Structure 1
């Protein structure tokens, strides 16, 4: 068997150009298939770790997926707001251990601005209940004496170059071209450490600040002839009248369904409370068809690459008839010839898979910062997961099956046919 292995290696090396092209095709196909599986896994992990420790997400009555998207991932917009009195009534429920209100809708150079309370930095968790940490600075004060303070996420600081002490302006609305609250600049007092969640791409200010910058606005536009300077906003009541959503934690998770029913049947206004895990499962169910289509297309690309391997080996058999016949004359039996062709095909497939894994690792290393910045998905450099190992084994098995055809063809060739090839 050792001699057959050496022959297979030398034979493959002699046809390295032809087989090399096939190897590249298999490598690209394997990398594409693994990339789809890696992105699928990491996207789910990134979404799940963004809301670790939150038992309920509260918002105006809408779809559960829509509520999770705009309250947690800051994608889309709310259909309605929640009155402050309604939020307070729910926050004071005996089952509620803590709550964090959120006011959304404004932005800073394309990054969402979140109005919240200082409890946000104490209660919000990510990954395996890890607390938020500061890379520099401190949380905003959250009172009337220090209204215009902002805490920015790591991606905001990295992309815009903001540091503690810098000034920034908040724009009205979620677009980059919205009118700015130019008369009320904010001072950056803190920069959060990277988390791989939407927090990295957010600007955090106090609830009082969100009220203050809209004192002289109505209907999404500044009131004509009215301008309240930043120094005078403290003379007004800055308690918010409405919030967009709230994150809720409970004393006992066993009471989550009872509180959810109470909120959904709230008499004051139409509210909705969703369990983050259930809402995310619903989101994945809506995307499962897309995942299946992408996976099927990638599997088809792999099959095309392995079909090319089969075609290449079959096409070379006519040129190798005399070589195979000489091997038969020197004592190699049909089984050895069959094994040699099988080893060649498996060798090319294995090298293609190996190159594909290296290519995937290099691509992830290069593209991970861009993917995290634009999509909030953290692509991790790690060993293949169980699902990826199954995919790799499936590719190798398919390559082995693809090599059976040329192996069987070589096995059928007779000694006389090899010594006297037909023209």
Structure 2
């Protein structure tokens, strides 16, 4: 019977009750949403790069290596020789190696020198591979693959020519305009630093940094690293500049070698006295900035890391990206504390709104409460009536809020991942959500004691006289 009275009382005050429910829905949905996003932000941050077991570079510090190799923040003070990368790739426990060369830029965006292994093995979020929105991988030694955000801001399409600059500034006075690159593909959005990068081949990076004595290019070279037969053929004709026809045949033969994998042996460069033809790019770089390593077994990560850090002939540093990301997140703990503070303020605001509604309703219900007391309702009955109404309103609002959050996160999951790098996983119905709802209901029960006690203390004759 008491439950029926509570429901009828709420229906009688449905306008104010609906406004109160709306207020609590907003507060609880924000509270649950902020707590859910707080956990997802940490997971997304630690999964900026996924599937990479080790990051190898010069001994420059764990966080510094992580920042410039993954987040493209800062720059390396040293590099590692290409021979060390080859030795690393030859180890039996190493499955693949992605070389990375940094140091150049294009209109404010970082330039990353690499090869096609980057697009085959690089992963982010929950081991999600890179995909192409337009075009595809490197097809020539002077191909470029542009990240989604860089392509959108600069308006690039496959087939466009770009010129990279030396250094990392937005404005550079050293343009490598003699070695333009042709866009071969546009990556799909990832919400990671990959979106803001311009990827070019290692051969192209090495060619643009050749000494000034090397003949400059009048147009993009569309050949890839030559094979061993091409190397021997070019070496035989190295000094035969008087045979122009033979030289053109050699250049045409080089143009047909379009492997662009970066794994061919180092050829001897073919030079020409004529400026109408450019020297072919080198088959491999002299050095790279870092290397991303995938192992045959994740259990071997510590073993390989120890071998690189302690037993390598040349000083190198190998780090576990997961541990480095966790360490970096710990330095950014203020962000997490800020989100926790926002969650606490939202909860306080929700409770204040609930108490305000209950106290305001008491003035309207003085006559109702007086009649109930005259009919023999005791203090515990009145106390439970007020608390039941408050708990009913709060439970309804919590249910609506959690459902609303689940629907919104499902609808905007792809947009959040592409634009903000926030990769949502799992459901809103987690243990943390259950704890939040339980705390809100408990706080509602405690706060409802204030208007319930106030209703009990009202004088019987005062309530009856205010008809």
1:244/1:26 CA distance change after superposition, 3 Å: farther
CA distance in 2, matches of 1:279, 1:378: 19
Paired position in structure 2 for 1:13: 14
TM-score normalised by length of structure 1: 0.81
Match of 1:44 in 2: 42
Equivalent residue, structure 2, for 1:323: 368
Deviation per CA, 1:180-229: give whole Å up to 9, x if none: 43443322212334444433443221111122233368xxxxx9xx9654
What secondary structure sits across from 1:99 in the alignment? strand
1:360 Cα offset (Å):
8.5
Matching residue of 2:206: 211
Structure 1 residue 132 corresponds to structure 2 residue 177: no
Helix, strand or coil for the counterpart of 2:332?
helix
* Residue 402 of structure 1, CA deviation: 1.7
Give SS of 2:373's match. helix
Q: State the alpha-carbon separation in 2 of the partners of residues 125 and 299 from structure 1.
A: 36
- In 1, Cα distance between the equivalents of 2:128 and 2:95? 18
After TM superposition, the structure 1 = structure 2 runs for residues 170-319 of structure 1, keeping only pairs within 5 Å, are 170-179=164-173, 180-215=175-210, 229=218, 230-231=220-221, 234-235=279-280, 237=282, 239-265=284-310, 268-319=313-364
Distance in 2 of aligned mates of 1:360 and 1:95 = 43
Q: Please state whether the residue corresponding to 1:248 is helix, strand or coil.
A: strand
Structure 2 partner of 1:153: 147
Distance in 1 (CA, whole Å) between partners of 2:22 and 2:7 is 23
Structure 1 residue runs of 5 or longer lacking an equivalent are 218-222
TM (norm. structure 2) is 0.74
Displacement of 1:71 in angstroms is: 1.4
Q: Are the structure 2 counterparts of residues 121 and 331 from structure 1 closer, same or farther at C-alpha, using a change threshold of 3 Å?
A: same
Distance in 2 separating the partners of 1:244 and 1:268:
18
Q: Distance in 2 between matches of 1:390 and 1:82?
A: 50
Q: CA deviation at 1:275?
A: 1.1
Shift of 1:151: 1.8
Equivalence for 2:61? 63
Matched position secondary structure for 2:365: helix
Q: Which structure's CA Rg is the greater one?
A: 2
1:34 aligns with 2:32: yes
Does the 8 Å contact 2:46/2:326 carry over to 1? no
